[in-house]
């Protein structure tokens, strides 16, 4: 009887955590879709109006001056995009953490909420968003990207593809991907599940760092296909997820690298 109650509570908690993660991801994707819509509208492409959600000047198809408000807006864009893209791939780890927390509490043990782990993970990707904002600034100033945030120079785009493809084959990529693909092994290797908020936050930050090490080159491809190209964003997010959850994820990463290199070489030669 006690076991069935515990299982029911565990299923309920999993549903709650899953719903929360899905809601966070959905809100982030809604924001990205709105940005893409507004940029298309600003560029003159036909699209449906969204009343009450217009920010003149922020999403102009021409480059805006990098004032502090504009820089903060671009940073927010990248941060929300990273949350939308990376929350699904972090969900298995967060769900495992939530289950262990529930078991610990049931046994009368002190245990930090899985929210601390998730906060640490997303904090790292927020830091990556800051780096992406700086990269966008440099690329805009050097006219390497278009006002729609896609590669403006065939050679630059090809170079990014080849660099990303080569990284997919490196031992560092493999090591980081292995940490992301085996949540329990990762936790055991780095001190086990943490009972304190500080420890849980640290573990989340470490997991996020491995995840950035695994995926940063794929994220760089956003500047090739377009940062506001929703299909391109979705394709990269799906690839990141598949690398982490399907059998043979390392083979998939290597195959993707080969395709990226081939396309980059084709772009240089054509």
In the 3-class helix/strand/coil scheme, how is 117-153 assigned residue by residue?
HHHHHHHHHHHHHHHHHHHHHHHHHCCCECCCCCECC
> What percentage of the chain reaches a pLDDT higher than 70?
73
Least confident of 53-67, 155-169, 200-214: 53-67
- Of the candidates 250, 254, 227, the one whose C-alpha atom is nearest the C-alpha of residue 85 is 227
145 - beta bridge partners? Answer: 151
What is the per-residue DSSP string for 217-262? HHHHTHHHH-TT-HHHHHHHHHHHHHHHHSTTHHHHHHHHHHHHHH
Query: Which pLDDT value is given to residue 36?
Result: 61
Q: Which residue has the tokens 């864009």?
A: 77
Confidence of residue 45 (pLDDT cuts 50, 70, 90): very low
Structure tokens at 261: 């290199």
Helix, strand or coil, per DSSP, at residue 112: coil
Query: Which pLDDT value is given to residue 84?
Result: 82
Name the range with the highest mean pLDDT among 135-144, 162-171, 176-185. 162-171
CA distance 42 to 56: 9
Contact 143, 150 (CB under 8 A): no
User: What letter does residue 195 receive in the DSSP assignment?
Assistant: S
* Separation in Å, CA 56 to CA 61, 63, 136, 194, 202: 11, 13, 20, 46, 40
The yes-or-no verdict on residue 89 having pLDDT over 70 is: yes
Question: pLDDT averaged over the chain?
Answer: 78
- Of the candidates 254, 214, 259, the one whose C-alpha atom is nearest the C-alpha of residue 89 is 214
* Separation in Å, CA 263 to CA 2, 70, 152, 214: 58, 34, 16, 21
Mean pLDDT on 12-22: 50
What's the pTM value of the predicted model, to 2 decimals?
A: 0.78
Name the range with the highest mean pLDDT among 73-77, 89-93, 162-166, 234-238. 162-166
The yes-or-no verdict on residue 16 having pLDDT over 60 is: no
Query: Which pLDDT value is given to residue 130?
Result: 95
């Amino acid at each position: 009887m006690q076991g069935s109650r515990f299982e029911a509570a565990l299923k309920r908690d999993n549903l709650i955590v899953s719903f929360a993660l899905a809601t966070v991801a959905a809100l982030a994707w809604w924001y990205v879709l709105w940005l893409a819509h507004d940029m298309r509208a600003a560029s003159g492409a036909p699209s449906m109006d969204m009343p009450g959600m217009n920010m003149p000047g922020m999403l102009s198809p021409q480059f805006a001056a990098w004032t502090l408000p504009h820089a903060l807006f671009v940073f927010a864009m990248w941060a929300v995009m990273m949350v939308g893209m990376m929350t699904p791939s972090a969900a298995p780890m967060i769900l495992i953490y939530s289950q262990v927390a529930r078991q610990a509490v049931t046994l009368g043990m002190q245990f930090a909420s899985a929210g601390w782990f998730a906060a640490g993970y997303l904090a790292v990707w927020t830091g990556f968003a800051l780096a992406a904002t700086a990269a966008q600034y440099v690329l805009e100033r050097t006219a390497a990207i278009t006002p729609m945030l896609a590669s403006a120079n065939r050679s630059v785009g090809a170079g990014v593809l080849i660099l990303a493809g080569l990284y997919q084959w490196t031992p560092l990529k493999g090591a980081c991907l292995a940490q992301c693909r085996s949540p329990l092994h990762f936790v055991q290797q780095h001190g086990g599940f943490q009972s304190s908020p500080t420890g849980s936050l640290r573990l989340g930050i470490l997991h996020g760092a491995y995840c950035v090490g695994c995926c940063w080159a794929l994220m760089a491809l956003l500047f090739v296909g377009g940062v506001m190209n929703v299909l391109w964003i979705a394709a990269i997010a799906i690839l990141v997820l598949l690398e982490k959850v399907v059998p043979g994820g390392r083979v998939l990463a290597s195959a993707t690298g080969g395709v990226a290199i081939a396309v980059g070489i084709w772009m240089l030669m054509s």
